[in-house]
Amino acid sequence: MQEAQPQIPENIINLWKHVTEKSNWRIVELPNGFYQTEHRELDNEDTWVDVTRRETIEGAEKAIDSSIEHYKKKLKVIEGPKVVKTFK
């Protein structure tokens, strides 16, 4: 008998969907010259959540792109298995 996968709360799934949209991200230059990546808070679009710091703006954008891909993969996993072939 297989054990069921743990259920992921709907608010977490909604957050993952939210951070896969690049329009919910921004890059801020800090006083020390580093760049901080931030995503808009899910329930309050006037609030930003800091995520990472990078030395270059290019590095910051790559970090955002990597985060987006990471959360897209997490969303794909929760879809469950996909039938790719059946036999008769």
pLDDT tens-digit map of 40-59: 999 998 999 999 999 999 99
pLDDT for 6 beyond 80: no
| pLDDT band with cut points at 50, 70 and 90 for residue 61 | very high
* Token couple for 83: 């039938």
How far apart, in whole angstroms, are the C-alpha atoms of residue 53 and residue 27?
Answer: 9
How far apart, in whole angstroms, are the C-alpha atoms of residue 53 and residue 41?
Answer: 18
pTM of the model: 0.83
Predicted confidence at residue 3, as pLDDT, reads 55
